[in-house]
Amino acid sequence: MTAMSVIDLAFLLAETDDSPKHVAGLQIFRKPPGKEAGFLDRLYQYWLASPIDRPFNQIPDLHLGDFPGWRDAPGVTLSDHLHLHGLPKPGSRAGLMTLVAQLHACRLSLAQPLWECHLIDGLSQDRFAVLFKIHHAYGDGHSIGHWLARPLSPRRRPWPIQAYWQSLNGEGRRRAELPRPGGGLDRTLEQISPIPGILEMGLRQGLKWLGVGSNGVAPPFSAPRTPLNTRLGPDREIALLRFPMKTLIRIGKQNGCTVNDVVLAICDQALTRYLAKFGGLPSQPLVAQVPVSLREDSQNWQGNRVTLALVRLAGPDADPLQRLRAIHDSSEDAKREVHGISQPSMNGYISLLAGSVLAAEALGFGAAVPPLGNVLISNVRGPENIHYLGDARLLEAYPVSTLMPSLALNITVHSYAGSLFAGLVCDPCVVRKLPVLARFTRQAYRELRAVAA
């Protein structure tokens, strides 16, 4: 039996038909020259014969009276998880995005291991796509990024060395088996050990609400309410963007900032312009929920080892450089606060905050509770060099993430081979003009690039 953390469990308990809690990676490849015909059919048959390693052969064990965990499913049939699709001609990008949005809106079944792999044929210019979809309870952005890179290689091969659900050298079998928390005194001590840190964090945030202490970090539930903060429906819309890493790095270095600060500034400018155009722009700065990795053991990728920083963005009237520098200061304060408390205490504190949001939404008074944040913005690092799936070159690699309660927009970025690929996921009934927001995001990048030159 594999242990399940409180955060892993929260992703399962938070899930509804209107708010599935899986994430995905969308990878676009070019078929190898001379092998275009039937390439994806051959790949599909090749992967159907592959073994399945943990955690991809596991399902949640949520029996009452025992600590939740993961157990091996009695039988897993790959054809239930691996699917082959064909786009209608001419294989447009719009057709791909429509299919991906439909696939991403469907909730995964708890009766089966919570993942799917969709091979999508028929893209123009001899390209194809792979959408790998997995429940967030299995792992955080860094572990999911690791799994998405498993079949890839920095050089061409006749076939992929493994599938997404396989691990080399039995890693999945050897490393994923974790003991359940013990009973008796040990179990009690483990459960209560984070409490002092949680109380300390709560006191610190309470003082901020009273105006005592540093104002650099946004206290919980201090975000202004915007049209983005509302109850979600089941539909999803996706937009994809691409930026050159070299330019983002240069902008950051010239201003003493990180690439993540630059990304936050671009997103903040785009959201400010979007809300100003369509209504709902607050006079106070927006607040971004920014996941921060706490993963130290790179050999064990299962489970969520991540916490949440609340980063106050810039005010609506800031110019691009003022916006970047204000966000850098706020982000540095948030990181210091996150790393100034033990991991179990921080996880417990964040779980309490998230639990209160979920409870408010479930009881129907989510609109009466101030938002924890206005948007979730995440950054996942990928391979720096060109990679291949067998002998098919990986051209683009986009993250397609999930929506949190009362957050109708998620922006996740992923670096690969000199580019930063951004996936914007929204509820289209709330964010009714996602293409406009995507256009504003490109515009914000160009403006920041110009003033930083």
Active site residues: 136
- Residue 152: beta bridge partners? 389
- In angstroms, rounded to a whole number, what is the distance separating the alpha carbons of residues 19 and 366? 15
Task: Outline where 235-380 has alpha helix (H).
Answer: 245-254, 259-278, 320-338, 343-362
Structure tokens at 392: 């098919």
- In angstroms, rounded to a whole number, what is the distance separating the alpha carbons of residues 291 and 219? 16
Number of H helices, E strands in the chain: 12, 16
| In contact, 331 and 241? CB cutoff 8 Å | no
Count CA within 13 A, CB hemisphere, residue 200.
13
* Residue the block writes with tokens 């001419």: 90
Strands 22-30 and 127-135, by their bridges, are antiparallel
> Could you tell me the CA-to-CA distances from 33 to 44, 142, 223, 232, 233 in Å, in that order?
19, 32, 52, 44, 43
- Residue 398: beta bridge partners? 26
Residue 19 has φ and ψ, to the nearest 5°, of -140, 70
- In angstroms, rounded to a whole number, what is the distance separating the alpha carbons of residues 287 and 285? 7
